Structure 1
Amino acid sequence: MAFERPNSDQVDPGDSSETGLRGRKKARRRQEILDAAGHLFAVNGFDATTLADIAQETGVSPPTVSNYFGSKENILSALIFEGAERERTNHMNLPRETGQPFAEVLGAFLVDLTAKTMQIAGKRVWRYAEAANIRRPQSEFERQFTNSDQELRKLIGTFMSDYDMVLRNGTAPDPDVLSRLFYDTWTMCYFSYIKNDAMTFDTHRAEVMQAITALVALVFDDGFAATSPLKRTKEAR
């Protein structure tokens, strides 16, 4: 199995050579293929799904699917990495809540990350992606996976750095260190969730909130933790 970067001429609806109606139709068809593949991967599993299955689900021919993506592996890459990038952008624009416990603010942010991740692909697909990342060291897929993780940590760090955080010792924290700490905490809950098909989202939410509440109480000054004050520069925006 080889994970490769899809041909940009085939898959980029924003390419300058694709304009007007034709470009929009190609972008729409490409997304239809991704949606169909995501559904089939979740229902039948990645290995049991063929390009012909994806083509039939989309209502196109197998060569059309191949023309857009080249391989089933490239479809998986596009499905999860493009989806992750899109949701990170959406998350960056979420409002920053204040006047309530920081554990609730940050916990809700992280729970929403899980919800958006599940909108990209189901548990079964993410389990396969995690396994593929482990099985394919130094591959393009592994590089994209690592980059996606790094960007997610940055997103958490950016969110947290908008708050006027104070540690228990009265000093200002290093946002990068904190983002790694809280990312790792969320990740443990997330892995527990995707590996257990019987676990409900409500159970996952409760686990995340419990873990984040305990960590916030351990790390932050009580005054900050109780009210989540924003930095003045953020309040002025």
Structure 2
Amino acid sequence: MTGLRAQNKADRTRRILESASRLFRESGFDSVRIEDIAMDAQMSPGTVYNYFSTKGDVLLAIVAMEVEEVLVAGETLVADPQGGFDGAMTKLIGGYYDHSLKYLSKAMWRTAMAQSIAHPETAFSRHYTELDQRLTDQISALISKLQSRGDLRADLEANVLGVIIFNDINMMFVEFVKNENASLKTLRRDLKAHLQQFSMLLHPSPDTCATERESP
């Protein structure tokens, strides 16, 4: 019974989030009411309020759903990265970018970002920051894996590099969602250019490789 209740709860939550995502896209976040979401999801407003207190909570849950899916997809890549730094990082971050508009429009992303900045002390903002940290940690894990294979310089801190790379790719994403005319193709082109520069800095030099081979 416990498993069935959990599954029913997950199914209702998914229906709410899918309805909210569609309505936010069609009518805009400010115009949609909890009652509208409930009607679209074919449940009572009270049921929706049992899961989410505000529209902001619903929006964050949509962001979380998006991030959880890209994190799961990234786990396999991190476990066995292919293509060295450039190839593996392009696949990982490109996956983040490609999935970013599955549930959220650019306007929805702007609203989520604005709420997290305007009210940093709220649970919404803290959770938003936690999601960013999990993405950063996954990038750091990929860097560490590549270092263990000798594909990247081993004398650099993977966690610090993860923060630097995440901050860079996150700023590119912010600029992307700010511009309604910007395309994913352009974003990916910019990502490739940035990663090429990182690659030049992070790959071990021939002298370093020779030294490491000679070390006892």
TM-score range, shorter chain: 0.7 to 0.9
Amino acid at match of 2:202: V
Partners of 2:28 and 2:81 in 1: how far apart?
A: 39
1:30 to 2:31 alignment: no
Amino acid at match of 1:91: G
Query: 1:113-135 CA deviation, whole Å, 9 max, x = no partner?
Result: 11233324222211110000011
**What percentage of aligned pairs have identical amino acids?**
25
After TM superposition, the structure 1 stretch with the greater mean CA deviation from structure 2, 111-120 or 51-60, is 111-120
Query: Which is bigger in relative contact order (C-alpha 8 A, separation at least 6)?
Result: 1
Contact persistence 1:88–1:152 (CA under 8 A):
yes
Q: Could you list the runs of 5+ residues in structure 2 that have no partner in the other structure?
A: 207-216
Contact persistence 1:123–1:197 (CA under 8 A):
yes
Question: Secondary structure of 2:179's match?
Answer: coil
Q: 2:199 aligns with which of 216, 219, 237?
A: 216
Partners of 1:35 and 1:24 in 2: how far apart?
A: 16
What is the TM-score when the length of structure 1 is the normalising length? 0.77
* Structure 2 equivalent of residue 55 of structure 1: 38
Kindly tell me the number of residue pairs found equivalent between the two proteins: 202
Partners of 2:117 and 2:131 in 1: how far apart?
A: 15
Amino acid at match of 2:80: R
* Structure 2 equivalent of residue 187 of structure 1: 170
Q: 2:141 aligns with which of 150, 158, 182?
A: 158
Partners of 1:101 and 1:82 in 2: how far apart?
A: 29
**CA RMSD after TM alignment:** 2.1
* Structure 1 equivalent of residue 81 of structure 2: 97
Q: Cα offset for 1:221?
A: 2.6
Q: Cα offset for 1:160?
A: 1.4
Q: Cα offset for 1:39?
A: 1.4
Q: 1:39 aligns with which of 18, 22, 38?
A: 22
Q: Cα offset for 1:165?
A: 4.0
Q: 1:69 aligns with which of 38, 52, 61?
A: 52
* Structure 2 equivalent of residue 114 of structure 1: 97
Q: Cα offset for 1:204?
A: 0.9
User: Which one has a larger percent helix, Structure 1 or Structure 2?
Assistant: 2
Question: Secondary structure of 2:100's match?
Answer: helix
Amino acid at match of 2:54: S
Amino acid at match of 1:208: L
Amino acid at match of 1:35: E
Q: Cα offset for 1:46?
A: 1.4
Q: 2:126 aligns with which of 138, 143, 148?
A: 143
Contact persistence 1:127–1:195 (CA under 8 A):
yes
What is the TM-score when the length of structure 2 is the normalising length? 0.83
Query: 1:141-196 CA deviation, whole Å, 9 max, x = no partner?
Result: 111111111111111000111112443xxx52210111112112211221121111
Amino acid at match of 1:178: L
Query: 1:194-232 CA deviation, whole Å, 9 max, x = no partner?
Result: 111211111111111111112211332356xxxxxxxxx
Partners of 1:161 and 1:19 in 2: how far apart?
A: 37
